[in-house]
Chain A
Amino acid sequence: MDRPLRLVAANPVDQLARTIEALLVVASQPLSIDDLVAATEDDSERVETAVGLLSDRYREGRSGIVLEQVAGGWAFRASREAAEACARLYERPVEKGLSNAALETLAIIAYLGPCSRPDIARIRGVNVDGVVSGLVERGLIAEAGRENEFGAVRYRTTALFERVFGLESLAALPRLDDLGADVTEIRARLEAVAEKRPA
């Protein structure tokens, strides 16, 4: 007598987890929970549970592939123990040879963006045209409208920037107030230098 075949899943979201796993393999950039909900046509709570299951399965030390939360989504990367082998085969053109000027410019755009070339030049005290073009070419920053209809082009950091620096989002940057000395301290140092100088 034929009986309907009954499959008992080990976990109620196993099938969904397999679909998400497939989506992440195909993706070339991080997929957000919303992306995954749209693609699987499942509900967000179940998608989050499935992603949790996957991130445990693909964690550092357990698998050669690691699932990480980065740039506002989830993405696969190689495990750190495979880094040397990866380095023999692959270059990293985006972050290779980033100069100090480029990092300073990136930092300003990440914190104050969207901002224009004159905004950045005002803080750095030098012309930044070349540096900004270089960062656009690398894909770390992108145009984000103009200051007004005919004003200077403004720039913002991209999802690629967050991925290169391993940030879940821009909110993962350290607080600006925690960086650098405060105005009073700098003022005191300026005055100290002025006093030493012969009148």
Chain B
Amino acid sequence: MPIAVRELELDLDAFEGPFDLLLTLVLREELPLREVDLAGIVVAFVERLAERDELDLEACGEFLVLISALLELKARGLFPEEDAELAELEPEEAAEELARRLAEYRRAKEAAAWLLERLGERRDVYWRLGPAPLAPARPEPKLAPQRPDKLATALRALSVEPPAPSLAHMALRFPPTSQFLERWRALLRRRTRVDFDQEVEGLSRVEVAVAFLALLELRKQDEIAISQPAPFAPIRISRADAERSLSWTVRSA
């Protein structure tokens, strides 16, 4: 049975699953190729090949095509600005460029080795470690020119004594609820139904409120019935016994 390259199972740092899925993710740019260890894929493929006695040329061909395409994509991703520059080079120039880059990298490695040696020499040197180094100085934010007298005006407005809070509501005198209880009872002894708004007309807001409280009190004691056909409609008050006799009349009719 031939090796199915696309079903090759991979277990890399950045990805775990079949090769086919990796390709899809890379092409959809859902997985950054630069994070993918391509050498790891090669190792996985070679291990798979080694499990078999004979060489599967077709699978090898397919794998080479795929992995080289990935390598090229990764290289382009790492050095985007150099695409054109390298493609235009003659083989001789390319070799020169490669040698130049290797020399550059070699120098970086040598410099790193020098730093490591230096670190070794400083191994027995201790000093006080202060706070993290200061960030590079940022330019001071420039403020628009300000007029000091405007600032003074603003401050003056703020420094004025605030008006004393009103305590007028504390002086309100509430008439006793009992007074209204008696008035309602007296009224309902004379008439079976009364209209709230009509009866409280001419009273102050406080008195209207107390009158209403008295009504609620009477309702609680089941002395009266209150009805209001709709919100804000006139409130009708009737004696409780009158209401009961009315409903009895309606039911018996």
Residues of A participating in the B interface, judged by any CB pair closer than 8 Å: 27-29, 75-78, 80, 82-84, 86-87, 90, 92-95, 98, 100, 103-104, 106-108, 110-111, 118, 121-127, 139, 142-145, 158-160, 163-167, 173-174, 176, 179-183, 186-187, 190-191
Contact = CB atoms under 8 A, between A and B. Distances in A.
A75 B127 CA distance: 9
Contacts of A110: 111, 115
A171 to B, nearest CB: 14
B111 A80 contact: no
Interface string B128-151: 111111011000000000000000
Given A78-B125, A108-B108, A121-B78, A174 B100 contact: no
Interface of B: 34-35, 78-79, 81-82, 95-96, 98-116, 118-119, 121-133, 135-136
A130 to B, nearest CB: 10
18 contacts: A28-B128, A28-B129, A78-B126, A83-B124, A87-B126, A90-B126, A104-B109, A108-B111, A110-B115, A121-B78, A122-B78, A164-B119, A166-B125, A180-B103, A180-B107, A182-B103, A183-B99, A186-B106
Contacts of B119: 95, 98, 164-165
A173 B130 contact: no
A127 B108 CA distance: 16
Q: Which of A82, A84, A103, A108 has the most CB of B within 10 A?
A: A103
Contact of A107 (B81, B108, B136): B108
Given A181-B103, A183-B99, A139 B34 contact: no
Contacts of B116: 103
A78 B105 contact: no
Nearest to B95: A190
Contacts, number: 136
A142 B126 contact: no
Nearest to B82: A122
Contacts of B112: 100, 103-104, 106-107
B127 A77 contact: yes
A28 B130 contact: yes
B108 A83 contact: no
B126 A158 contact: no
Contacts of B121: 166
Contacts of A127: 34-35, 78
A180 B107 CA distance: 5
A56 B9 CA distance: 68
B127 A123 contact: no
A94 B95 CA distance: 40
B188 to A, nearest CB: 85
B41 to A, nearest CB: 16
Given A165-B119, A182-B103, 19 more contacts: A27-B130, A76-B127, A77-B125, A77-B126, A82-B126, A84-B124, A103-B116, A104-B111, A107-B108, A124-B105, A127-B34, A127-B35, A142-B133, A160-B132, A166-B118, A174-B111, A179-B114, A187-B95, A191-B95
B99 A187 contact: yes
Contacts of B79: 118, 121-122
